[in-house]
Chain A
């Protein structure tokens, strides 16, 4: 639980900042049977990021990284919209899109686990080629669709709550159950800790790695459906652009180390919410939109520094509170000096 402390503090601070500038920030009203309010908006617009980050968490837990999720988001939205615009049923469209995502994810996993390519390069292939593939599917155009049923996925409401929130909660619940109630989470962590050792211990490391990448792509695919459904169109060029970076940030802010072996689903959700709240905050407190990225860079740096053990050791040592903290860092300084 201590790992979740800092992300939670940052999120609370951000929300408090919002309330300070717009006192009505927490108010939620029901209009025409739909829930409205800033908090609902954060959840609704943050839903795709949370999904992508959940998949990314498991990939990072195995010591990998998946740069291709942004492209997969674009491909999934493009294929679904193309199918719907060609009068396919909603089910066919969604199934085809998610099926393709699973295949792409398994391809990533195959490259990493079976061929043995570094994850960052293996997924870079699909990141670069996937963008081209998405544009190939849409023919370089923006495909617009007019399907109320498809609109529900990312832009619709069910029981007064945005439907996307249900999807996120469902995926989160399933993931949490599979990884925390069953042994799967432990197996993933052991593969991330030492793939070779876990293989020798009888864990089918390859299968787990492939599965994890497929899961990440599936999550990205669902996120892609949500994004394209929200605007009722598919843009192969810009859909999900840089979402992989936001997702990786969310995972890291949530306290999952990029070196693998440990993961925290709760932390990831917090991290994704922090990033989405940050975006909302920037608009609501009137920071000019030009400086959005600047603001983001500062917050990200601050969060990462706070979480870095050697930064804390140094900051505290300067104040003379914990003189013996961080022996590893001190040793390094001595050797290099």
Chain B
């Protein structure tokens, strides 16, 4: 294994991108703490989790797809579709949440399954298939309704507004717990199951994976299903956060998710990357927004410019490391 020696300690190269993202997060947090009053508290980090729980879940699904070398552009639309379906079912026929939420998850997974099947069976690029899926899900949203539908179900709102108090006046929302559970489950699947091995192998080289007798077809279909499931779950969390269903929710979220995965050090060619990196990537994106809101005078478009510059810095860094390890 190639290593990079820093002083006496040596770090395997494959952990470097994650390490860099982690350092960046720390540096941003420290810089923010020095610059702004009241920034350096645990609650600021927890707020980043609370405000980005849905993105975290979506990015986990995206990580699976990207690890196999694919891409899923449909996630943002599926998130919107999930908020729309849950809001309309609860507002119209008055379905209870414990029926609606499983239904939404099944629909999301189903969409992912179909897209995965088309990608695999008909050899069409994932980019195009999921692009069509993006249009389809967004179109379904508008078919259900063009207006924003508020969610007033008492159980649902109670869950959405619940605060779980931690020590020292800090609190989190139940969505954060859901997101953390999803992350832990995904880490387990990726590193301790056959599916996880197959995901990395498929992304590394589909041909070799096939020759090794790994179930490439099943793996590819599964990752899109997982991504669909995660998007639907992200949608449920977003409807907790927004307490409404709207066809224009989560526009462009697929880009945020992809950016988080890339900033987290996962290669878009597949086969290399860690979920921890994705978590850090989401946190970095969230912290940028926090800093910009703390700054107060910066306009919102600086967020985009910063994220763009960060993306650039990261890919450049990865490029340097991969060039070094090849030598």
Contacts and interface: CB of A to CB of B under 8 A. Distances in A.
Interface residues of A, number: 52
23 contacts: A117-B315, A121-B262, A121-B268, A121-B315, A122-B315, A124-B262, A128-B304, A130-B308, A131-B301, A131-B304, A135-B301, A136-B301, A136-B302, A140-B301, A248-B128, A249-B128, A292-B139, A294-B136, A297-B133, A297-B135, A297-B136, A301-B132, A335-B210
B95 interface: no
A115 B316 contact: yes
B121 A310 contact: yes
A311 B124 CA distance: 9
Contacts of A136: 299, 301-302, 305
A297 B217 CA distance: 24
A65 B268 CA distance: 14
Q: Mostly helix, strand, loop or mixed at chain A's interface?
A: helix
Nearest to B142: A290
B125 interface: yes
Given A124-B259, A294-B136, A252 B142 contact: no
A140 B142 CA distance: 27
B269 interface: yes
B128 A124 contact: no
Contact of A293 (B123, B138, B268, B299): B138
A169 interface: no
Given A128-B259, A128-B304, A296-B139, A249 B268 contact: no
Contacts of A327: none
Nearest to B262: A121
Interface in A148-178: none
Interface in A316-336: 329, 332-333, 335-336
B133 A132 contact: no
Contacts, number: 147
Nearest to A68: B308
Nearest to A137: B301
Contacts of A27: none
B175 to A, nearest CB: 25
Contacts of A305: 118, 122, 124
A133 interface: yes
A80 interface: no
Contacts of A290: 139, 142-143, 146
Interface in A53-87: 65
B287 interface: no
A117 B319 contact: yes
Contacts of B319: 115-117
Contact of A124 (B122, B146, B218, B255): B255
Contacts of B299: 135-136, 140
Contacts of B127: 65, 248, 258
A304 B128 contact: yes
Contact of B128 (A116, A258, A314, A329): A258
B135 A293 contact: yes
Given A132-B301, A336-B210, A294 B140 contact: yes
Contacts of B211: 335
A25 interface: no
Interface string B280-319: 0000000000000000000111111101110110011001
Contact of B311 (A121, A131, A310, A335): A121
Interface of B: 71, 73, 118, 121-125, 127-129, 131-136, 138-140, 142-143, 146, 210-211, 213, 215-218, 255, 258-259, 262, 268-269, 299-305, 307-309, 311-312, 315-316, 319
Contacts of B142: 290-294
A124 B262 CA distance: 11
A205 B307 CA distance: 30
Contacts of A332: 210, 217
Contact of B143 (A120, A121, A128, A291): A291
A234 interface: no
A291 B136 CA distance: 9
A257 to B, nearest CB: 8
Nearest to A107: B312
Contact of B218 (A111, A128, A336): A336
B269 A129 contact: no
Contacts of A293: 135-136, 138-139, 142
A304 B127 CA distance: 12
B308 A126 contact: yes
A297 B132 contact: yes
Most buried by A among B139, B143, B301, B311: B301
A6 interface: no
B250 to A, nearest CB: 14
B305 A133 contact: yes
A170 B301 CA distance: 36
Contacts of B216: 336
